[in-house]
Structure 1
Amino acid sequence: MELTQLYYFYLTAKYEHISRASKEINIAQPALTKQIHNLEDELGVSLFKRVGRNIKLTEWGVWLKNNIEEPLNKLHNIKEEIEHLKLSNHIKICAKVASNFITNIMLNFKEQHNDITFSLTLSGEDDCDILVKTAKEGFKEEICLASGNFFWNKIKDITDLESAPFITFTVNKELRKTIDDYFNIKNIKANIAFECENINSIHDLIKKDNGIGFIPEFTSGVLKNDLKLFADSNFIITRYIEVKKNPYGICNEKLLEEFYDYMCDCFKNKRVI
């Protein structure tokens, strides 16, 4: 069964008139009649019946017309809808990392573009306009070990990390994997005391001397001046963040390019500009 056959049938069913349908389709009447007969043979039912010199839909014909009308109308309008989507001001972002930082970027950009809308998710990387994730290359960020006043003088050596209560992300977070890899490379077992969904909870627990933890240099979006950061390179993790634009996204191309460039500038400058 071909789409063309269904389209020819639908127009003939709409007018219940072979001549009128053939003129609209711009094919000869015998060719149109043959296409309909081929469709009837394939379905094994009669779609039209003769009533004098006219044709009328059979019950099967009515059923088929009703069931293909909406899909065919959608296909007919698909080019117009695509043109409309190409002008869309909605940008979909999949942020595997740095969601707090990206939220601030979106809010700042929106102040200058009131008509833009965003969606920010942690999944759906195949169906987004911009994907942000860790990679082997990209924007460099240091993830620093942080503490409050109590643990500041207790961490002298990397082995001290095994005894201090450790505050980290839940296992479903990409940054948790980065931190776990650090401990595996150092051959150290972390004494995990808290697992948190968001960076703000980790920040507050560290600040109140509930333990130590790693805080991203600039993408965390939290104030670090009320925490103590260890400058020793043994206590610093380096990661790279890739900001990738989907060449097949459906957002307004010019607007997407402008926002993408702005986002990259923010990552490059390590702050929302």
Structure 2
Amino acid sequence: MDLLPLRYFQAVARHEHISRAAEELRVAQPSLSRTIARLEADLGVPLFDRQGRRVRLNRFGAAFLRRVDRALGELDDGRRELADAAGLARGSVSVASETLIMLVEPVKSFIAAHPGVGVRLYQSDVDTMALRLREGEVDLCLTSQPLEGAGFGERVFAAEEVLLAVSPGHRLAGRTHATMDDLRGERVATTPPGHWQREMIERLFAAAGMEPVYACEANEAYAVVELISAGFGIGFVPAWSAANPAGPPLVLLHLDAPGSERVQRLIWRERAYLSQAARLFREHLLAALAPPPER
């Protein structure tokens, strides 16, 4: 069986939408539809229930997808293994992270040591990150949340306090500590659902019997910091951010609430082949991001 229809089938199954799958694959929609129809004719069963351009995997499609994912995953691992045999001069590594700012310096130092390795970075929420990892689109994920699903290996490498951030003119700006009760009625600037800040806010507010009121959202953590500094809302930032003197002016307070910390982890597919480049980058990243030893 030709592999291209299987790749097309994977994309349509992931999006459950012909137009979106065609856009991702950069093929014409009629061509994609014909390819899926030929695959179904070859198999002798329909793989999707159709509602215009919207399609839904049926029970045949779901069963076939499990086999296709496994088969193509093995082939992709084989391709990476052969590329590995050609040496690091042709290696590559792909990483997904909730925010990319932490990766800039480690990537610079890694490329300086291994100039032949290509590094590709993706900014993703936790659900997209897990999907990309399962499908082999990325080798590693840097996240402050566990990923749902079996077959992942992980290394927890840091835990740090999360601080309450307010603008210099905020009513709490003259204090060093705050409680959740101090935040009643405050509007919050944060990330959309799927990011660790949003998950932590909802968890802390729920534990305090409060409902957060969101003033604004931004995908990039640095943009959230800018919004807080401008007075659009309070927010939460990791202690790591407090060491960045080049950032916008903020007042940071210790939050006296259980669970106000961020646990960082590096995650990969446990049974999948991890290339030499990815293994080297994993160790480099863990060493670069690990907190300094206490004196």
Q: Which TM bucket (shorter chain)?
A: 0.5 to 0.7
| Displaced runs of 4 or more, over 6 A | 78-81
Is residue 93 of structure 1 aligned with residue 99 of structure 2?
no
- Cα distance change, pair 229–220 in 1 and its aligned pair in 2 (3 A): closer
After superposition, where does 1:1-273 map in structure 2 within 5 Å?
82-86=81-85, 87=87, 88-95=90-97, 97-121=98-122, 122=124, 123=129, 124-126=132-134, 127=136, 128-133=138-143, 134-135=145-146, 138=156, 139-153=158-172, 157-218=179-240, 223=246, 226-234=249-257, 237-247=260-270, 248-251=272-275, 253=276, 255-269=277-291
Shift of 1:235: 8.5
User: Contact between 2:192 and 2:198, CA under 8 Å: does it hold in 1?
Assistant: yes
- Cα distance change, pair 233–262 in 1 and its aligned pair in 2 (3 A): farther
Q: Counterpart of 1:171 in structure 2: which amino acid?
A: P
- Cα distance change, pair 249–104 in 1 and its aligned pair in 2 (3 A): farther
Determine the C-alpha separation between the residues in 1 that align with 2:111 and 2:201.
Answer: 33
Q: How many residues align?
A: 191
User: Contact between 2:164 and 2:237, CA under 8 Å: does it hold in 1?
Assistant: yes
| CA displacement 1:49-77 (0-9 Å, x = unmatched) | xxxxxxxxxxxxxxxxxxxxxxxxxxxxx
- Using the size of structure 1 for normalisation, the TM-score is 0.59
| CA displacement 1:94-153 (0-9 Å, x = unmatched) | 32x343212332123212322111122223012132222324982212221101112153
Q: Counterpart of 1:264 in structure 2: which amino acid?
A: L
5+ unaligned residues in a row in structure 2: which ranges? 2-76, 147-153
| CA displacement 1:189-245 (0-9 Å, x = unmatched) | 122111111112211111122221011222799655831111243397112122134
RMSD over aligned Cα atoms: 3.3
User: Contact between 2:95 and 2:140, CA under 8 Å: does it hold in 1?
Assistant: yes
Most deviating of 204-213 and 86-95: 86-95
- Cα distance change, pair 79–120 in 1 and its aligned pair in 2 (3 A): closer
User: Contact between 1:145 and 1:236, CA under 8 Å: does it hold in 2?
Assistant: no
Determine the C-alpha separation between the residues in 1 that align with 2:267 and 2:139.
Answer: 9
Secondary structure at the aligned position of 1:231 is classed as strand
Determine the C-alpha separation between the residues in 2 that align with 1:201 and 1:114.
Answer: 31
Q: Counterpart of 1:146 in structure 2: which amino acid?
A: A
User: Contact between 2:226 and 2:248, CA under 8 Å: does it hold in 1?
Assistant: no
Determine the C-alpha separation between the residues in 2 that align with 1:171 and 1:81.
Answer: 33
Q: Counterpart of 2:95 in structure 1: which amino acid?
A: I
Determine the C-alpha separation between the residues in 2 that align with 1:205 and 1:164.
Answer: 14
When Rg is computed on C-alpha atoms for both structures, the one with the higher figure is: 1
Determine the C-alpha separation between the residues in 2 that align with 1:106 and 1:184.
Answer: 37
User: Contact between 1:129 and 1:249, CA under 8 Å: does it hold in 2?
Assistant: no
Shift of 1:183: 1.3
- Cα distance change, pair 191–229 in 1 and its aligned pair in 2 (3 A): same
User: Contact between 1:85 and 1:250, CA under 8 Å: does it hold in 2?
Assistant: no
Secondary structure at the aligned position of 1:151 is classed as coil
Determine the C-alpha separation between the residues in 2 that align with 1:262 and 1:84.
Answer: 20
Secondary structure at the aligned position of 2:116 is classed as coil
Q: Counterpart of 1:212 in structure 2: which amino acid?
A: I
